[in-house]
Amino acid sequence: MKVKKTERKSVVKSVGGGRMFDQCDWSGCTVKAGPSHFIHGKAYCPQHYHPALEKHFLEEFKAWDGKERPGRKFLNLFARYTEDLYFCRNQDIPGGLSKGRINDRIFDIKKTKFCVDFSIERHPYAWKNPLKMKEVRQDWRFNVKRKQLRLLREIVLWSPPKDGIEDDLEEYWDDFNGSL
Please report how close the Cβ of residue 67 comes to Zn ion at its closest, in angstroms.
Answer: 35
CA–CA gap between residue 46 and residue 39 (Å, rounded) = 12
- In this chain, which stretch among 10-18, 24-32, 62-70, 123-131 interacts with Zn ion, using CB under 5 A? 24-32
Tell me which of 22, 26, 140, 144 binds Zn ion, using CB under 5 A.
Answer: 26
Strand 115-122 relative to strand 107-111, pairing = antiparallel
CA 49 to centroid of chain Cα atoms: 16
* d(C-alpha 113, C-alpha 91), whole Å: 26
Work out how close the CB of 14 gets to Zn ion at its nearest, in angstroms, rounded to a whole number.
Answer: 22
Angle 52-13-43 from CA coordinates, rounded to 5°: 5
Q: Which of 48, 56, 80, 122 binds Zn ion (CB under 5 A)?
A: 48
Q: Cα–Cα distance between 99 and 92 in angstroms, integer?
A: 12
| Binder among 39, 43, 45, 115 for Zn ion (CB under 5 A) | 45
Nearest approach in angstroms of CB 16 to Zn ion is: 26
85 lies in the site for Zn ion, by CB under 5 A: no
Closest contact distance (angstroms) between CB of 36 and Zn ion is: 14
31 binds Zn ion (CB under 5 A): yes
Beta bridge partners of 39: 42
Residues that bind Zn ion (CB under 5 A): 24, 26, 29, 31, 45, 48
